[in-house]
Amino acid sequence: MSVMKLAALFLFAALGFAKDPVTHEAIWLMKRVGAPAVCPDGKWVVFSLVEPAYEEKDQVSDLWIVPADGSAKPRRLTATKGAEGGLAWSPDSTRLAFTARREGDEAAQVYALDVRGGEAQRVTGLSTGAQSPKWSPDGKWLMFSSVVYPGAMDDEANRKAAAERKARKYNARVYEGFPIRRWDSWLDDRRTHLFVQAAEPGAKARDLLAGTKLAAEPGFGGGSGN
């Protein structure tokens, strides 16, 4: 007997002995816990908790924090409709960087939150958005990625390129190599670039790959913040 068949038998057996009948509502609205993010000193764990709803506008997804030793109940860190992702702890285990698209954001941005108390603050403000934040070893800088238009040297150029493409009267695509699709989506000529910015709201983000045809994933090396 296969593992899948055996698991199915156990599941149906458990349901048969359940006190209350299993309903579509009970399964659909079951809360879902995301992957945990453990802080560097190992004392705290942050995770996302999704509270599903039949209407998408009513669904809630927030971040929660709990002591790694289970000595206290989980505490809610965020309270917004939109989901958070890309969790990254600061080296001193006091701040959490994450991505979210909140009210007023053109695209998902990097936010920073002091887990000891206070509201999350938006750090980035690029029109192309920001993903995959990572802290420098000294905790003063954040590196992240953003998908930018070819030849764009700054965010103003990206805004202009996006507006020009939106105004096009045609949808033809020209490819000179592979790949051309990712699953059910067509790829375009935009590239993932690395940015670095001081870990504070309003700081200027610098495109490390501006003017090149390179694309890479973010990451700091060594212990000096480089």
Domain that holds residue 104: 23-207
What pLDDT does residue 2 have?
56
Q: What is the domain count for the chain? A: 1
Parallel, antiparallel, or unpaired: how do β-strands 75-76 and 60-67 relate?
Answer: antiparallel
What is the per-residue pLDDT for 223?
60
Closest C-alpha to 88, from 127, 50, 126, 35: 35
**218 inside domain:** no
| Domain assignment present for 96 | yes
Ranges of residues in the chain whose predicted pLDDT is under 50: 224
pLDDT for res 27: 87
0.75 exceeded by pTM: yes
Q: Which residues contact 40 (CB under 8 A, 6 or more apart)?
A: 89, 91, 92, 93
- Locate 109 and state its tokens: 């941005």
Q: The CATH number of the domain where 151 resides is what?
A: 2.40.128
Say what the pLDDT of residue 58 is: 83
Residue 63 lies in a domain: yes
Both tokens assigned to 54 = 């039949």
Mark residue 183 as left, alpha or beta (left: phi above 0; alpha: psi -120 to 50; beta: remaining): left
